[in-house]
A and B are shown apart, each in its own frame.
Chain A
Amino acid sequence: MTTLDPDDPGRGDVGLGGPGDPGPGDPGPGGPGDPGPGDPGLGRRRLRQALDAATTGAGPAAPTAGAGGDGQAAAGGGVAPGGGVAAGELGQLVAAASSRADAEGLVDVAWVAHDTPVGALTLAATTVGLVKVGFGADEAVLADLAARVSPRVVHLPRRLDVVRRQLDEYFAGGRHAFDLPLDRRLARGYRLAVLDELGQVPFGRTVTYGDLARRTGHPGASRAVGTAMATNPLPVVLPCHRVLRSGGALGGYGGGLDVKVWLLRHEGALGG
């Protein structure tokens, strides 16, 4: 009754049987749900296997899980929301397509995950400059960028090469100031003024929230300064870790207090 393989009892479904062939050899697991009474006869499993072989043989595997941070090895892949990195050939295809889209001006936000001594940072740039340095999960950072800047957010490590190099130099101790174009669009109004003032605080020095309030002409605005620090879109590069409470208490830090302590010690601004 089957056309291609009539004699093999174990594979009653292999041939694309004639119309009306009920295909008893094609049991449940072959189908994604009930194929329905109108689904014509068989070879479905065989069809599935053939298509599967044709596309997995020639093509890449599904994205595999990877640790946070792109590193060099995974530079071609995109980091999935769950932390997976598109691996191998698929990663290269995605990277090539992303580069072409970038060349056509279709990528508004380029991003990369970058490993540092204080953990993986999510770095994002617009055509204006660095727009975001994010601690923690890529997914949340990218969703925020999609909502506030543009949904055309694509993994493009090369557009952040200069940023990554300067960060590496900073963390290695060889760089005390960043020389990067910045896109400050994620901060507005008074917060933006505070961030501009913050950029004047040099490596290895600290100021208080009150100091920054005074320097921006609003001596009573310590609390607003605190908010500006907490919402700083460009931590490390705009050094909100150098801002302490009066009396020397550490205050808060978006990346966690241990990161703030690490950075201050790295800069020699904190004993111990």
Chain B
Amino acid sequence: MVTLPPFQALLDRHAADLHRFLVASVGPHDGADCFQDVVVAALRAYPGLAHADNLRGWLFTIAHRKVVDHARRRGRHALPVAELPEPPGGPVAVEALRRVDDRADGELVAAVRALPPKQRTAVVQRYLLDRSYGDVAAVLGCSEDAARQNVRAGLQRLRRLLTVEVVP
């Protein structure tokens, strides 16, 4: 018979990271909604868990799925990148980005949110939450190699997105 820790312990340990993961993935407003969805879904499934290994991975797997559901509900037309202002072009844009750092951050975060789900989750787990590839793999339910590949593909895509946006 499996002994699960009190659900409270999961909240205490992971609520802050969970919230940050969701905000990074879908923004602050929808992140708050997703946060509730994840907690409710996790509590619903919790007593039925067959084992207590890697509860963090389990929790973030639910979070990943909720983010995917969320994107589906929003529809694919509303990708945050589409809401960005038109890049004024070439050197001007580079100059603007250099001068206004937080604006540049905004572009970058928007680009992260526009990544395909697995790549986005992999990049956020790796670079916001400082998780190992093993942890990323647990969240995505894939091998460590595949996790590494998702991070790599995410970074490449980010690079491409930003290059296209900023330097036509």
Contacts and interface: CB of A to CB of B under 8 A. Distances in A.
Interface of A: 3-6, 8, 16-19, 32-33, 36, 38-41, 43-44, 46-56, 58-63, 78-81, 84, 86, 90, 93-94, 96-98, 100-101, 104, 106-107, 109, 111, 139, 142-143, 145-147, 150-155
Nearest to B28: A58
B108 A50 contact: yes
Contacts of A55: 19-20, 23-24, 128
B12 A63 contact: yes
Given A4-B104, A93-B19, A101-B39, A39 B8 contact: no
Contacts of B105: 49-50, 53-54
B130 A32 contact: yes
A59 B31 CA distance: 10
Given A51-B128, A94-B11, A97-B36, A5 B97 contact: yes
Interface residues of B, number: 59
Nearest to B151: A39
Contact of B7 (A50, A52, A154): A154
Interface string B6-42: 1111011101100110011001100110011011100
A130 to B, nearest CB: 17
Contacts of A4: 94, 97-98, 104, 162, 166
A3 B162 contact: yes
Nearest to A5: B98
Contact of B5 (A49, A101, A111, A146): A146
B104 A47 contact: no
Contacts of B54: none
Contacts of A145: 6
Contact of A107 (B43, B94, B132, B159): B43
Contacts of B4: 146, 151
5 contacts: A18-B159, A40-B156, A142-B6, A151-B4, A154-B8
Contacts of A155: 8, 11
Nearest to A138: B8
Q: Which of A55, A61, A155 has the most CB of B within 10 A?
A: A55
A143 B5 contact: yes
Nearest to A109: B6
A17 B40 contact: no
Given A97-B36, A111-B8, A60 B19 contact: yes
A96 B104 CA distance: 33
B138 interface: no
Contact of A46 (B5, B40, B108, B156): B108
Given A4-B97, A54-B24, A147-B3, A93 B8 contact: no
B5 A151 contact: yes
Interface in B105-119: 105-106, 108-109, 112
